[in-house]
Structure 1
């Protein structure tokens, strides 16, 4: 779900890009909150109300096939109809990672006399040139060419680098780096995009928090497990180590290689503890003492 949430953030920040891509023309819109529909828990990645056309556009992002998707889409459509009976509802499931599963072609839910249809888009079948026309869709363009991602990733990186707004550059670069993790290793992504600015972005921090939460709560069985080449647990540990080392270097200056290597080997939970403790560090000796106390505990 962590990758799905990056797409949710992109929709929230760049709704016009998605509307132009999916509907072909700009319209005025306002975003709906799923909590407005029911007190019962239900998750939708994004709901956008297109007031100019009396249309509710429901986008559901999926990293991998989910057998419950048809039921969820039917359930959400009924809830939307009860809440907004005069609005047309258009639902689109967008699959992120290339797969041979037949589930990504399923566009209907049927049980007895109940029948419901929805739309499906598979990113790996989309035209990357079309996606590259809109700023908010640049991170998705990388997934449109999963079999040959490097040229597209470099093209997206150049397009982002040419943007004038530094905040916009940082957030789109971070979203691109995260989604590229469905195809590339973190080392390869860092080589093309660079690592430090990405890890300091808002979108990366939100993604990392979601990934760590999912890893703890679900026993590292889902989410990024299939996205990172070395597995979710190792991937999260590596990212936590990079972020912590970056924070330490900014506060204390260059670290001795032996200390850096010790930190890289720390498990994720200890790295999180170090990330909190370093706020009180003043000198390299404080770091050394913290590591010694950790080793003796």
Structure 2
């Protein structure tokens, strides 16, 4: 039997290629005031390995903060503790303020969900997906697509998570069929389908995935994801190896100029994004102290 591991790790390439959809439409979809999206951030850490223990979506915002977006059928204290642990990992890596927004399918009685553990407090914003009528939204989107009018693509890919009396797998099928009717190139429609699948993955059983696979319209999509995932995995492996080599060379440069490498510098270099790593070599040459290097890596 054909098996497909539908996880955020496998679909990172889709989110990276398509994050402009979120950048352009997220505020209108969520109805939450926040800065614009600047870039997509990876969703997995080495400490978080299973499909049930991974963050859904992370974005870097224009003010330097991070948007952590989660989807849940219901929100419990256990969920909040799990999200808080993810946010601590994010904060440990990036040291930037985090905004966590939960898309709650069955609804939540308040616009915020939080807990107070004494020395540690945690607050999130809840978007009630049960307030969004999936049946009405489907009709609205069909009408706009037929008339070739502009739509919010997030309304489309999150459509299966809206209020509905249909099963999730049926909603996913209808959504992808609707995406296929868009007046757009095939790669864009494949990306929308991939986004729809991965955003609903945690609510779909293995039997659901087999059902989707048996649908002939899904064959091309799954092959596309599988091929792109393998290709991206090879590319990322090469890039990751080069980045690690660059970090080691930079640490040697710092040690040669300033003596033993400060532990804080090592941590900052390991967390640094590629753009910082590329500029650090020149900064080492022009710096007079390790304090200059630390300041550069922090800002």
Q: State the TM bucket, normalised to the shorter chain.
A: 0.3 to 0.5
Q: TM-score, normalised by structure 1?
A: 0.47
Q: TM-score, normalised by structure 2?
A: 0.47
